[in-house]
């Protein structure tokens, strides 16, 4: 008789990965990162358990967008005040907060619930090439362009 396997959060062994975002297309980078954050690359994947690994993304200001997205893609957020919808173009967002481009792309691929918010805590994004997580000995993860 076969039984359905369900991972327990105590059984999950988490690894650390570092991704260099220099000259990477945002969507390709985000899909790979979302897959690893969610844990779908592991054979013990269970949809209702956080089985994913930690990801550190460096050089996020050197990421690429295809076509004319730098001048046309708009990011929206609301201040929760009446009439508080704010819009910013990708080119200006890269200058002010380069990490938000990648973070919003990855958040769009993660479940929008409690589990998704817990998964996003394992994502760290840095504009420069150095990060404070060297003590965790992250493995370099190559993304094919």
* Domain range list for the chain: 16-65+97-140
Cα–chain center distance at 126: 12
Structure confidence at residue 2 (pLDDT): 83
* Contact indicator for 65, 26 with CB cutoff of 8 Å: yes
* Contact indicator for 56, 65 with CB cutoff of 8 Å: no
Does the pTM of the predicted model rise above 0.85? yes
Nearest to 74 by CA among 97, 99, 91: 91
Structure confidence at residue 45 (pLDDT): 95
Listing DSSP states for 85-107 in one string gives EEEEEHHHHHHH-THHHHHHHHH
pLDDT by residue, tens only, the chain of 145 residues: 888 989 999 999 999 999 999 999 999 999 999 999 999 999 999 999 999 999 999 999 999 999 999 999 999 999 999 999 999 999 999 999 999 999 999 999 999 999 999 999 999 999 999 999 999 999 999 988 6
User: How far apart, in whole angstroms, are the C-alpha atoms of residue 41 and residue 54?
Assistant: 13
User: How far apart, in whole angstroms, are the C-alpha atoms of residue 132 and residue 101?
Assistant: 21
Structure confidence at residue 145 (pLDDT): 64
User: How far apart, in whole angstroms, are the C-alpha atoms of residue 88 and residue 92?
Assistant: 7
Structure confidence at residue 35 (pLDDT): 97
Structure confidence at residue 1 (pLDDT): 81
The CATH classification number of 16-65+97-140 equals 3.90.1180.10
User: How far apart, in whole angstroms, are the C-alpha atoms of residue 23 and residue 52?
Assistant: 25
């Amino acid at each position: 008789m076969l039984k359905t396997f369900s991972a327990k959060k105590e059984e999950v062994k988490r690894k650390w990965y570092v991704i260099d975002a220099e000259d990477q297309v945002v969507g390709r980078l985000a899909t790979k990162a979302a897959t690893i954050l969610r844990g779908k690359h592991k054979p013990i994947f269970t949809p209702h358990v956080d089985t994913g690994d930690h990801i550190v993304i460096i050089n996020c200001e050197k990421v690429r967008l295809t076509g004319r997205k730098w001048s046309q893609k708009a990011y929206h957020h609301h201040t929760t005040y009446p009439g508080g919808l704010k819009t910013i173009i990708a080119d200006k967002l890269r200058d002010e907060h380069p990490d938000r481009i990648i973070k919003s792309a990855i958040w769009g691929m993660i479940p929008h619930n409690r589990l998704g918010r817990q998964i996003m805590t394992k994502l760290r994004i840095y504009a420069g090439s150095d990060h404070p997580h060297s003590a965790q000995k992250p493995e370099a993860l190559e993304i094919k362009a």
